[in-house]
Amino acid sequence: MDHDLTVLGLESSCDDTAAAVLRGRTILSSVVADQTALHAAFGGVVPEIAARAHAEKLDLCVEQALQKAELSLFEIDAIAVTAGPGLIGGVLSGVMMAKGLSAATGKPLIGVNHLAGHALTPRLTDGMDYPYLILLVSGGHCQFLRVDGPTSFLRLGSTIDDAPGEAFDKTARLLGLPQPGGPSVERHAHAGDEARFAFPRPLLDRPGCDLSFSGLKTALLRQRDNLVADQGGLHPQDVNDLCAGFQAAIRDVLVEKSRRALLASEGITGFAVAGGVAANTPLRLALEALAADHGHRFVAPPLALCTDNAAMIAFAGSEKFAAEGADDLTLTARPRWPLDQAAPAALGSGKKGAKA
């Protein structure tokens, strides 16, 4: 691959509008405009609001990314854009913008799968070689992928209901803790006793690498309601212990399923984890220890590149361009776009829409 290729990346599939300029593996700029405040009152991402905000912000993000990179549009070699999966209005905004830029400048257009962006990030940050195993674990995704090439993926398992970040967020809501839930729950769990309350370990009794998290929040709700019925409310230590028990259940399930995925992945160069939930320290440490037990290299990219950004889209675009060339102006936005085309549709979708 030509490492000196300069690529402009665009991302607008969820609730972050982002643009970045990448040269080889060097990030010249990465701009992310998040929409959290716009959706806060609704308890989730509202697709129409997201789409409008993307349409309003994309050109500003591109302008800023070019300015920070100290380049003009005509000094870019190619334009990469998330063409799916995600909320269709947002994906369409990005694809239309990229087509316009490509038509105006004559630069090649590359449609990128958002999940490929996440899955290829360990190559951008740590130069990981194919094939490797990655666990994508966030508020919108949860799957194990063996990454064989820029467009070649084998899905070993995925959530059949919620994504773990979603479960963390719901747990925080049930306990009256602030959003995003993951960091709040982790903080309280630190002072808690994970053995006080019994939480299930969903799907460990079934073979394979599929995961389930919706039962955990139901278990938490039941424990909380029992305490409220018995004591008339929750003591601070109850909250800490509930958080600790819940977090330990997520950790144990992800570690055991990762162990199975590693055993099913011969010849890999290492194990990587990406997504917002990878910020959870006990989980990260447990996965690192697991990889070491199996004699594998462990890579967890910095959080700013684990969560949604356009640098990963520019990078995945440059890898795809080198392998397969560009798309043309018939590129379409795809709300569903599984990375592993041979795998059956995943049931779990995550809070931000279909992400199989």
Binds 319: which of Zn ion, ligand KG4, none (CB < 5-8 Å by kind) = none
Interacting partner of 210 out of Zn ion, ligand KG4, none (Cβ under 5 to 8 A depending on kind): none
Judged on CB neighbours under 10 Å (0-12, 13-18, 19+), 195 is exposed
Query: How many degrees, rounded to 5, is the angle at CA 118 between CA 95 and CA 45?
Result: 60
Residues engaged in binding ligand KG4 (CB under 6 A): 14, 138-140, 165-166, 168-169, 180-183, 186, 275-277, 279-280, 307-308, 352
Residue of this chain nearest to ligand KG4 (CB atom): 182
- Ranked by CB distance to Zn ion, the top (closest) residue is 308
Least distance in Å: CB of 131 to ligand KG4?
A: 23
CB of 284 to ligand KG4, least distance (A): 9
Upstream peptide bond of 180 is cis (omega within 30 degrees of 0)? yes
Gap between the Cα atoms of 13 and 75, Å rounded: 26
Provide the token pair at 154.
Answer: 């084998």
**69 vs 306, which CB is nearer to ligand KG4?**
306
Nearer to ligand KG4, 220 or 279 (CB): 279
Q: Which of residues 300-329 bind Zn ion (CB under 5 A)?
A: 308
Q: How far is the CB of 140 from ligand KG4 (least distance, A)?
A: 4
Which CB atom, from 210 or from 308, has the smaller least distance to Zn ion? 308
Question: Whole-number minimum distance, CB 55 to Zn ion, in Å?
Answer: 20
How many Å apart are CA 333 and CA 246, to the nearest integer?
37
- Residue 200 touches which of Zn ion, ligand KG4, none (Cβ within 5-8 Å per kind): none
CA distances from 52 to 12, 20, 94, 351 (A): 11, 20, 11, 19
Binding site partner of 241, from ligand KG4, Zn ion, none, Cβ cut-off 5-8 A by kind = none
- Return d(Cα 234, Cα 77) in angstroms, integer: 58
194 binds, among Zn ion, ligand KG4, none (CB under 5 to 8 A by kind): none
Interacting residues of 209 by C-beta distance below 8 A, sequence separation 6+: 144, 156, 157, 257, 260, 261, 264
Is-contact 301 132, C-beta < 8 A? Answer: no
Closer of 111 and 181 to ligand KG4 (Cβ): 181
Continuous segment of H or E residues that includes residue 26:
strand 26-34
- Beta-bridge mates of residue 211: 159
Q: What is the DSSP letter of 130?
A: S
162/308 with CB nearer Zn ion: 308
- Work out how close the CB of 235 gets to ligand KG4 at its nearest, in angstroms, rounded to a whole number: 23
CB of 140 to Zn ion, least distance (A): 6
Rounded Cα distance, 42 and 45, in Å = 7
Minimum distance from residue 334 beta carbon to Zn ion (Å): 15
Interacting residue ranges for Zn ion, rule: CB under 5 A: 308
